[in-house]
């Protein structure tokens, strides 16, 4: 294996690592949003419409979080393949 192939492989690993860290950061941010929203809902007395709206918002965030978790897992698997 020559140096240029080594560098190309290292570049792929570096990019995949960066993508994985970015996706993980997004997942963590979605989780923090869910926690903050739950705290807000527990702390303040809300009327029924506000509660319904915030619960809908929670569902949207939760759906996005599931997508991000899948993205992280996919990227981690791809990174593992590159490191073999």
Digit-coded pLDDT (tens) for 26-69: 999 999 999 999 999 888 878 889 889 999 999 999 999 999 99
Using DSSP, state whether 61 is helix, strand or coil: helix
Quick one: tokens of 6?
Answer: 């080594």
Quick one: tokens of 84?
Answer: 């073999």
Dihedral sign computed on CA atoms, order 46, 47, 51, 57:
negative
φ and ψ of 52, to 5 deg: -60, -40
What is the average pLDDT across 10-31? 92
């Amino acid at each position: 294996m020559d140096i240029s192939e080594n560098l190309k492989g290292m570049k792929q690993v570096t990019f995949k690592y960066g993508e994985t860290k970015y996706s993980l950061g997004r997942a963590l941010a979605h989780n923090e949003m869910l926690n903050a929203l739950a705290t807000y809902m527990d702390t303040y007395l809300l009327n029924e419409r506000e509660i319904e709206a915030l619960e809908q918002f929670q569902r949207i965030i939760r759906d996005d979080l599931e997508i991000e978790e899948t993205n992280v897992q996919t990227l981690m698997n791809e990174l593992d393949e590159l490191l073999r």
